[in-house]
Amino acid sequence: MHQPQSTGPSSVAVAARRTVAAGFAATLLMASVIPGAYAAAAEPDTLESITVDDTANVLNEDKLALQE
């Protein structure tokens, strides 16, 4: 009995590969977009001022003084 030769992957295999590839591409896209959006919404890296209320009087003001 003669069995037909396979000429390539079946249409189901091609569809499955396309689905996996599309899922992988979507995952990569989300992995790059979400952190970027979070970083864009974050506060700036520099502060103009800071206020510390030392109600326990335990901080060393000399060490906290701004050194220029």
pTM, whole model, 2 decimals? 0.41
Residues 33, 26 contacting (CB under 8 angstroms): no
Q: What is the dihedral of CA 4, 7, 11, 9, to 10 degrees?
A: 110
Residue 6's pLDDT band, with cuts at 50, 70 and 90, is low
Q: How far apart are CA 16 and CA 13, in angstroms?
A: 5
Given a cut of 70, is residue 3 above it in pLDDT?
A: no
Q: What confidence tens digit (pLDDT) does each residue in 13-64 have?
A: 888 999 999 988 888 888 877 777 777 666 667 777 778 888 888 888 887 7
Question: Longest C-alpha distance within the chain, in Å?
Answer: 96
